[in-house]
Amino acid sequence: MFRASCVPHLPFPDPRKIATPMAVYTEVSDEELASFIASYGLGELLSFKGIAEGVENTNYIVHTTKGPFILTLYEKRVEAADLPFYLGLMEHLAEHGVTCPTPVHNAEGNNLSRLAGRPAALVTFLEGFWVRRPTAAHCAAVGRALARLHLGGKGFALRRANALGVASWRPLYERFAPRASEISPDLAPLVEAELKYLEAAWPQGLPEGVIHADLFPDNVFFLGDRLSGLIDFYFACNDALAYDVAVSLNAWCFEKDMSFNVTKGQAFLRGYEEVRPMTPLERAAMPTLARGAAMRFLLTRAYDWLNTPSDALVSPKNPMEYVRRLRFHQGVRSIAEYGLSETVK
């Protein structure tokens, strides 16, 4: 077992409030970590603590004499070949005005190393917390931040296809289709009909670029009402920018009873357009894109719901929340129902 040293009265936020979306799968010894930190020239290791949220990788908050950092050990669900894209993107965005964790380079000039048998990276610490009950003001700030990310991603040389785009949805569904009724008796016919619609109607020719693809509340930090930064770029890829808008619309603008809050929707979309106005084609496509975004998370949640072992470190999320979102989007005919005019002013 690793030992996390305790240094009382350090002027850092409570690690339990750091919404870094990871769990601790790989343990690191004091000696291993001290040697790793030394290779970065960050002074003496003072303390470290595992962060127990999330599902993808192992994260630690690390305190050194030069400040706090986040250490990530990449587990098997993350393709090692994609790491240069993720880490390079964070550096590119930070250089272009997007506040996000920035990878630290070691003495050899590399932002990626190895620790405890895993690829590992150290990134700067981002202060803030994620909001459990977003307001319209939070949604507006997220809209502006997402648009800045889309603009800031221009010129990034590396590319990564969306591994969870529309072409992947049917193969993913087929991996759990025989068991879909274990979630709900009506799930299989709903998914099959919706996939048929989305595959035929998926919008083409929309503006593309780097998208976050997972900008949920726990991936956005606030200090009070001020957005302090974006985290978790490990689903980022190249795809339609408006699809990223649709993902965030699903993530931020529904209440706990799964009703759509048009005030939040309007705030989010107007905030986005303050920075990057959408084209008429993007606006017209939003209902279909929102249905697709709901389908993507319905499918991944359903697969995890049926395949996550009972003794896993994290619990799978309920896919039925996205069934309810999907049914709402199926009744939407224009972006006006999300709170934004159909035409560009």
**Which domains are delineated in the chain?**
15-124 (3.30.200.20), 136-338 (3.90.1200.10)
- Give the pLDDT confidence score for residue 25 in this predicted structure: 73
Mean residue pLDDT across the chain: 90
Q: What is the mean pLDDT of residues 45-56?
A: 78
**The pLDDT of residue 80:** 86
pLDDT digits (tens, 9 = 90+) for 148-164: 999 999 999 999 999 99
The pair of three-digit structure tokens given for residue 306, joined into one six-digit string: 């049926």
pTM above 0.85, yes or no: yes
Note the pLDDT of residue 6. Answer: 31
Distance between CA 68 and CA 53 in Å, rounded? 18
Mean pLDDT of all residues in 270-274: 98
Query: What is the per-residue pLDDT across 189-239, written as a single tens digit (0 to 9) for each?
Result: 999 999 999 999 999 999 999 999 999 999 999 998 899 999 999 999 999
pLDDT band at 179 (very low <50, low <70, confident <90, very high): very high
pLDDT for residue 100 is more than 80: yes
State the average pLDDT over residues 306-330.
88
Q: Which has more confidence, 51 or 131?
A: 131
- pLDDT tens-digit series, residues 284-317: 999 999 999 999 999 999 999 999 887 666 778 9
* pLDDT at residue 10 is higher than 70: no
